[in-house]
Amino acid sequence: MLDIKQIRENPDKIKAALARRNKDYAAEVGQILALDEKRRALLQKTEALKAEQNATSKKIPEMKKNGEDTAEIMAKMKEISQTLPALDQTLRQTERAQEQLLLSVPNLPMSDVPDGKDAEDNTEINRWGTPPQFDFTPKPHWEIGADLGILDPVSAAKVTGARFHFYKGLGARLERSVFNFFMDLHSSRGYTEVFPPYMVSRAAMTGTGQLPKFEDGAFRVENTDYFLIPTAEVPVTNMHREEILETEKLPLRYCAYSACFRAEAGAAGRDTRGLIRQHQFNKVELVIFSEPERSCDALETLTEDAEYVLKVLGLPYRVVTLCAGDLGFASAKTFDIEVWMPSYGRYVEISSCSNFQDYQARRAGIRYRPAKDEKPRLVHTLNGSGVAVGRAVAAILENFQNEDGSVAVPKALRPYMGADVIK
């Protein structure tokens, strides 16, 4: 959530920054400022009446003691008592309306985020590895999985519906091996391992920016205010909700494995086959809590850590900087890591690493105290996929496929798999 003080003091600057997202938020900013002016006037009037009420209530006993007539002052007290509840209610309604508007406005792009409208304007910053060249016509991972008997979307559709999968045999072991490998590698590089709950509250979803904007894309548990998590970012970030963190322990770095659940609203017809776009999928998430002055460096490190697992697996990839028009709602800056997929003939997103600055922390009340006698400040939060497990499995099947239909297991996974080849 943006700082209302910043909006109040620099409305034109805020409007210009938001306009870089390829959408005009001038009306929302104007409404926020109008409600803020109303809220402040109501607050001033309410506080003045309460102050008058308190001061007057102290006079009454003395007046009675001196035999003075209190009828007029008592009438005034009655009038204030009748006025205050309505004023308080109007103030609360105004505050709620302003907060809902603030929650609907995205984060400001950082100044070094390139301008652009959509993914076509993203900027490639590096590549690693060489896409494989085959002496045969390579198959997409869903065909490889079906031929090997390790991926079964047909049974999953019968049990649940479209965009779900059964993994079988060495396919199930491959999925498990991948996320165990990811967790072990990230833990060895300084991340604290977390196994989070798969359901969170509305407050937790709001704290990280999923609500209210993306409620249509979330799975809500009927007759409750619980949601199935779209990513481990939500529970892990909210571990420190309404806390003041110890500065000497920053940065805090967590890695978490979880299943993720997304309704994929608005994605009809996209990636309908295979593992790229599922309603349920596994992912390893990296979350960092950083001092503001160090969050830019933390984003670089976070991205390098997500890249590292692909390097060890031997999967070709590239990194792109998202333009302002393609940024996620809560992000101030994002690097996407895209893995090479032979069946697509292009790179496909497998990780998204973002710096949210203080946007999530303001929503969730996550602060730190820079020094003993200083007031608490908002931390900066960052997160990135480290990485999406299903997409990594798809990339392994396609990049390491053999002409005879088998798939070579990357060396790093062989101790987990207990096999060198899937056939």
Angle between helices 389-399 and 141-148 (to 10 degrees): 80
Here the tokens at position 340 are: 């090479």
Distance separating alpha carbons of residues 290 and 294, to the nearest angstrom:
6
- From residue 17, give the alpha-carbon distance in Å to each of 2, 34, 112, 115, 326: 12, 20, 12, 11, 14
User: Which residue do the tokens 């205050």 mark?
Assistant: 84
**CA max distance for the chain:** 108
Closest to 246 in 3D by CA, of 379, 344, 61: 379
How many CB atoms are closer than 10 A to CB 107? 25
403-418 burial, b at 16+ Cβ within 10 Å, e below that, comes to eeebbbbbebbeebbe
Local structure of 244: helix, strand or coil: strand
Active site residues: 262, 277, 349, 352, 391
Residue 340 forms beta bridges with which residues?
Answer: 347
Amino acid letter, residue 94: T
